[in-house]
Chains A and B, each alone.
Chain A
Amino acid sequence: MTQKFDFTVNGKPVSVALDNEETPLLNVLRNELDLMGTRFGCGLEQCGCCTVLIDGVPEKCCAKPVWSVAGKAVVTIEGLGTPQRPHPLQQAFIDEQAGQCGYCLSGIIVSAKALLDKNPSPTRAQIAQALDDNICRCGSHNRIMRAVEKAAAQLRAGAPS
């Protein structure tokens, strides 16, 4: 039986009609809403490629049933910034060339945003801890952590986010 699920994505209300209420939010984002920025990595909530904010909390959405986000606010990488108006994190990732293949970056940048929302002045160790749920296989870790530090400094200095 088709059911309707209402929630917001990047501030806009969305309504999706699905036969299977267990459909993972990730599949809804990618296949129903055409938001490809949130990547599939494992489907097991292990690698963090699919990290989004749900009511401000970083969560992996590859196994999160769509019914569980009804009425909630979802923010994806596309909701952070655009090439014309980059989020300070995105600008810092470009400045630091923080990435190799880039497949993990959407989830990492969203995890970093959740960290900076909560803690504007994280230490290197706190950044590492916050990103330990995200896997980077190419070995861009140090650049990524430098970019998060840089973005934190810019946000503290009043950069618009």
Chain B
Amino acid sequence: MNAPVLPGPLKDNPSLARWVAFPAPGQVAINTGRVEIGQGVLTAMVQIAADELDVAMTRIAIRSGDTALTPNEGYTAGSQSIQFGGVAMRQACADVRALFLDQAAKVLACPVSELSIRDGSILRNGVTTGQDYWTLAGAVDLKANATGAGQRKPVAQLKSIGQSSARLDLPGKIFGQATFIHDMRLDGMLHARVVRQPNRGASIGAIDERAILRAAKAPVAFVRNGSFLAILGDDETAVDLAAVAADTHVKWQNVETPTAVQQEANWLLQRPAVDRIFGAEPADPKGRERFERTYTRGYLAHASISPSCGLAEFRDGHLTVWTHCQGVFPLRAALAKTLGLEASAITVHHVQGSGCYGHNGADDAAADAAIIAMQKPGVPVRVRWRRDEEFIYEPKTPAMIVKVHALLDDAGKPTDWTQEIWSPTHNQRPGAGGNLLGALALPNPPPEPPPNDVPESNGGGATRNAEPLYDIAAKRHIHHLVTETPIRTSALRGLGAMPNVFALECCIDELAERAGQDPVEYRLSITAYKRARAVIEKVAAMAGWKAGEPGGAGRGRGIAFARYKNRAAYAACVVELDVDEGVRLRHVWCATDAGLVINPDGVINQLEGGIIQSASWVLKEQVRFDNSVASGMASFDWETYPVLKFSEVPEIDIALINTKDEAPLGVGEITAGPTAAAIGNAVSHALGTRIRDLPLTRERIMASLLKE
């Protein structure tokens, strides 16, 4: 018999003691490498452990994202926490349960088949035995490696998994407790702000220290290393005032600021790029009808509600860092490289921040704190970015151009599909090729990372969802990885999936219209995938979709579909909206198939969030550049980078299907593309004309109406 295959994270961290412990009678501790970023992952992990260990959720304490304690699961990203991390947790707990049942069988001198576990107690033929996890713990070696021998519970026996469970972390936030990293205060801690290097290669020309000290109105001190300059003190207000003053009283040399022309996606054409082709050989285009459309999207900010924060202390040769980043182990590796320390001399603890939606300033703020702490041994340092600092210096998701070239058959169906993409990289996370921002200001900064994007095997970056899932004889995508960019770019929720699905699903609507077919009918006619058809049919039924409903009168409906990464969860959305001068969203319906759902209400919460955030991107968001501003960024606060407001959100209805029988899949990112495209299609239906550039602003709508 072959040994069972271990889930990836468990294979990488095989010692069961990394996952599960029984610290005191009646208590269970579980450890996950995944971190809470507002998606409810910790609650889902506790539900998983409760089922596989047969203990009540209330007995379980969870620790997460800690280089000293938890498994190394890389980044909490890509909607993979449940798909991989959750499955690993299930298997680890199942293995632990099996070890304890074996030990109980020995102690009770009976076959394992007579034993079961109820809330941690061992039962024999349903009768209590006086044995439990805690009486047996001394005799079970949890340092043993996972074997995969423990049987995961069949679906019919799951009690906690599949039930909506209230989020364990929400009450603390609702009562205003000190739950966030921003709320941490350490004895003797100093507050710090970094005077940001405007760009790689810029250096400090002059510092008017007296003017800065005067502005602070209380004592503050400077820490400097090369072009890395920080202000610190025990009075946060004074440190803030000094940092504001430093904007004018620190003069930089070799400053380069982006210009307005560079903010548009079309600027990416004709830039240096690394070109790659994936997929089928080009078809012979002779005798077939060609279809070609170009869609674009600008740069977006993560725009986390809290500016990034990091704490660090360097004491007795050991650096301790607290961070809200998505990957404590990769951050530790990057810090080791930046600071010239061994990884073993660094401990990184995750503490919750606000939602990040990808690679925001979290890692960089932690690095700032660490760089300062190294110069102030024994003093805990807290860095909190300013609002404009987060907007200006967080990595942005890149602008993209997506050009679809298709060949059509006589019935107007695509037989050959090429999706051609121009995009800077979607991944400059530390450890994945990118550098920590503060490191660039230090003497001997690290070299520019080589051109790189998320590999296809991980779902691709700019190429994510670049191929339609539909039945098309030949498909390929061409990726122009643009290597010269005016700003740092990295991962935002779904990476390239949103622009790719927006482009291809809008093209599908355009093709349906050419073929004189209803968009739902047309989609169903070109996909045989059962699970794809099921979400499309379901969402159409939910929305009361009527084929051939006339548009063009200011109200429109649109549909779109995608399977995330073409191999994860399925989502279809219908959007209903009104357009006059601007777009007013009325209703969004969404059907998803994410396989086994751990916490249904948690999943619905994530899906709603994905829909609203995508709607915000599509209707409002674009990072704007302006070289007449010192930083070059015209988007630096909530007025210059507005997001969707309470009065602008649509009603949302969500259906989850197939929740028991298939493997669990993540949902955080799956609605970004379908929402965007369904809005695009609905706007086109309402206007009778199509806008192919995002965001769908009032200006673009007016221009499009005037053109008609």
Contact = CB atoms under 8 A, between A and B. Distances in A.
A135 B638 contact: yes
Interface string A99-138: 1111111100100000000000000010111011011111
Contact of B170 (A31, A46, A94, A134): A94
B218 A40 contact: no
B368 to A, nearest CB: 17
B110 interface: no
A36 interface: yes
B171 interface: yes
B173 A99 contact: yes
B12 interface: no
B341 interface: no
Interface in B599-638: 601-602, 605-606, 608-613, 616, 637-638
Contacts of A44: 387, 637-638
A49 B182 CA distance: 13
A76 B606 CA distance: 28
Counting chain B residues whose Cβ lies within 8 A of the other chain, the interface size class is 35 or more
Contacts of A78: 175-176
A94 B171 contact: yes
Contacts of A129: 646-647
B306 interface: yes
A19 B610 contact: no
Interface residues of A, number: 60
Interface in B115-146: none
A40 B38 contact: no
Given A19-B218, A83-B171, A102 B303 contact: no
A15 interface: no
Interface in B228-281: 235-238, 240
B705 interface: no
A71 interface: no
B387 A137 contact: no
A141 B306 CA distance: 17
Interface of A is mostly: loop
B37 A101 contact: yes
A135 B305 contact: yes
B217 A20 contact: yes
A143 B608 contact: yes
Contacts of B354: 101, 103-104, 137
A39 B306 CA distance: 8
Contacts of A27: 236-237
B166 interface: yes
A135 B616 CA distance: 12
Interface string B684-706: 00000000000000000000000
B176 A136 contact: no
B208 interface: no
8 nearest A-B residue pairs (beta carbon): A37-B176, A101-B38, A102-B173, A139-B612, A77-B176, A139-B609, A103-B354, A101-B355
12 contacts: A40-B307, A43-B386, A46-B387, A47-B305, A94-B166, A99-B173, A99-B174, A100-B39, A105-B174, A135-B638, A136-B646, A140-B608
Interface of B: 37-40, 166-167, 169-180, 182-183, 185, 217-218, 235-238, 240, 303-307, 352-355, 357, 384, 386-387, 601-602, 605-606, 608-613, 616, 637-639, 643-647, 649, 651-652
Interface of A: 19-20, 22-24, 27, 30-31, 34-44, 46-47, 49, 76-78, 81-83, 86, 90, 93-94, 97, 99-106, 109, 125, 127-129, 131-132, 134-145
